[in-house]
Amino acid sequence: MIPELPIILVSLDIRSIPMLKKNFLKTKEKIPLEKFLYVTTIVYILLMVASNVMASKVLAFGGLVIDAGTLTYPLTFMIGDLLAELFGYKRTANVILWGFAGNFLFCLCALAGAVMPALDPNDPITRAYDTLFTYNLRIVGASFGAYLAGALVNAGSLVLIRRLTGPKWLGFRTIGSTALGALVDTALFTGLAWAFTLPGEELFRMIYSGYAVKMLYEIIIATPLDYALSPLIRKRVRLPT
């Protein structure tokens, strides 16, 4: 069961940034674990929603074919790695489930707007909105199923590898767990969404391209960020005992 999540209203303008920096980086008092998890969950949900919208555009880089959501979606794996490393599987699974719930609610709201009668159905913006948010149920189902399976495998495998290796070799855990989670996510989504509609060669190309980009992202960007953020979080957040 997903735990209750309080509604947090955040008012942020440019003048508040120095105060936030001072409070987080300079204060000696540690941030309560619950507050940190609330904010992290909000960021996680925002990344999920952004990736969902961006996935509507297909990008091509040389021989790689990916959707634009691949540029932001790997960050959810990075957050999952940090949470699993610092707070364990149970708390990480809760954040993953909230990401699922937030993305599902967004899809429902966007779909409701698409099926409502428009003032001018022929308006280009209205037609673009309807095209973007009138979802193919097969693709939506594949997306949600692949997300849950991949994220939970990523978190679970990191915790398991940590039990085997101890606290050392953080990079080995983050890259190894992402290798498993991203493989499950990419293969499951591509297979469920496009099987029997695209040639096998094209399916393999999509799986290979998406997986390669996610792994490069993990190695070049996410793992260095994990190394930078992990000690900072340990220093500033009250970790569970």
Domain residue spans of the chain: 30-236
Q: Which two tokens stand for residue 127?
A: 């037609």
The mean pLDDT value for 142-168 works out to: 92
Fold of 30-236: Arp2/3 complex 21 kDa subunit ARPC3 (1.10.1760)
Instruction: Please provide the distance, in angstroms rounded to a whole number, between the alpha carbons at the two ends of the chain.
Output: 23
Q: What is the CA radius of gyration of the chain?
A: 19
pLDDT of amino acid 138: 81
What is the DSSP code (8-state) at residue 55? T
**Residue 1 pLDDT level (bands cut at 50, 70, 90):** very low
* pTM flag (> 0.85): no
pLDDT digits (tens, 9 = 90+) for 180-211: 999 999 999 888 888 887 788 888 888 888 89
- C-alpha distance from residue 208 to each of 99, 144, 176, 220 (Å): 25, 20, 17, 18
Residue type, 100: F
Indicate the angle between helix axes 124-133 and 89-115, nearest 10 degrees: 140
